[in-house]
Amino acid sequence: MYADDILVLAPSVTQLERLLRKCEEELSYLDMVINVKKSACLRVGPLYNVRCREITPSTENSIFWVNQMRYLGVFFVKSRVFKCDLDHVTRSFYRAANAIFGRIGRIASEEVIIQLIKSNCIPVLVYGLEICPLTKSDLKSLDFPVNRFFTKLVNDCQVYFGFDLPSIIIVRQSNTFMSINATYRLLFLI
């Protein structure tokens, strides 16, 4: 088995280099190397704007610092605090919703359109966001494209069909995630 999409977290650049060396050492036992073309460094914390030298693994190619990176479908941005970029998910939601409208237009019933949006577009909008520390403003920005969709479709049918907004879904999923995580931690302590 192989593990790709590995995320290495470190409290400092020096520690990051040490961890990278250890990873390279373990990978060399497996006759594997780090693909620096698919690797990037992102800084989060009070010194996020301080310029750092590139991290150079033993392959002599540098791993560059970026302002934004995608990890398992979630976009993280360099910032003072851990932060996710919501522009990508919003654009993906609009693309998916417009694809549905482009194919079926107004010929389908509202129930069918809503079910298609609920099953195909909302998952695109909320995917992976339960791990992101979202502010009330972030949650409202996720509600905006959904509200625009309903405005486009029919006013106030959102409540009629029991359609939950992304802010409600993410809070519910985060609470579930945290309670499951707490249960597992409790099991490991026992």
pLDDT digits (tens, 9 = 90+) for 79-122: 888 888 889 999 999 999 989 888 886 687 778 888 999 999 99
User: Does residue 90 sit in the same domain as residue 183?
Assistant: yes
User: Does residue 32 sit in the same domain as residue 94?
Assistant: no
Number of structural domains found in the chain: 2
- Between the alpha carbon of residue 41 and those of residues 36, 76, 122, 139, 173, the distances in Å are 10, 11, 30, 27, 29
**Mode of pairing for the β-strands spanning 74-77 and 68-71:** antiparallel
Block means of pLDDT (10 residues each) for the chain, 190 residues, are: 72 86 86 83 85 76 85 85 88 91 78 88 90 89 88 65 83 85 59
**Residue 40, Ramachandran bin (φ over 0: left; ψ between -120 and 50: alpha; else beta):** beta
User: Does residue 179 sit in the same domain as residue 163?
Assistant: yes
Residue-number span of the structural domain to which 76 is assigned:
13-83
Q: Report the distance separating Cα 145 and Cα 165, nearest Å.
A: 10
Residue 1 lies in a domain: no
Confidence (pTM): 0.68
- Between the alpha carbon of residue 101 and those of residues 48, 95, 113, 143, 153, the distances in Å are 42, 10, 8, 19, 10
Given 53, 83, 113, which residue is the final one in a domain?
83
